[in-house]
Amino acid sequence: MGLAFVTGLCEAAALMLTVRVILLLTRQEIDDGDVSLFGVDLSPSASLGAAVVLAVIAAALHYVIAKRAGALTAETMYSARRRVVGDYLHASWAAQSAEREGALQEAATTLASRIAAVVQATALGATQTAVLITFGVIAFVVDPLATLLVIAAGIVLQFVVRPMARRTASSTRGSDAPSVARRTAARCPPRSRAASRAGRRRMRSPRT
């Protein structure tokens, strides 16, 4: 988690330096102003260099975090498989014979892979949450009012978009049945008119 917070800090600082240099360029004040970041005044060229260095540091930290997450996933899968096989071998014959065929293979492959996937998703989710919290804190320090407005707009959009997504999903499910019927009808060869007339005549003629 500490690396995640440092990564978020580096990314936020690099983004702030880049945006402020771009603002100086658009205002044509590149020779008259300096970029200030947390009380430190930097020239535009030094700001761009610092942004590049911070971006490289953030990329390196992301690599370290991803490598640790991969190692944690592999260790989790190895531990799960080892525990499953060990418990099966140390179980009694009655317990082993009571298991259905293929249960050991399923537990050692499918279930262990699912556990590892959950661990990996949890680790990456915690990392991204830490980075997002860091971004939010820095944004609040820089401009509290704008940060609160953005958060409020995100909450409002969440409540507005959710009913629309539900309606879209329900309409999509409702339109699936006619499309299936059309595909089924398209697959069936149409009956000829002569065969249809002959069938109607047979139905109308009395049975002997």
Q: What angle do CA 173, 162, 12 make, to 5 degrees?
A: 130
Mind listing the pLDDT tens digit for each residue in 117-130? Answer: 898 888 888 888 88
Average the pLDDT over 187-194 and give the result. Answer: 49
Mind listing the pLDDT tens digit for each residue in 27-77? Answer: 655 445 556 666 667 777 777 888 888 889 988 988 988 888 888 888 988
| Prediction pTM value | 0.59
What phi and psi values does residue 14 have, to the nearest 5 degrees?
Answer: -65, -40
User: What is the pLDDT at residue 12?
Assistant: 83
Tokens of 17: 């330096």
Higher pLDDT, 180 or 44: 44
Check: CB of residue 12 under 8 Å from CB of residue 135: yes
Helices 2-26 and 44-90: crossing angle, nearest 10°? 150
Contacts of 50 (CB under 8 A, 6+ apart): 13, 14, 17, 42
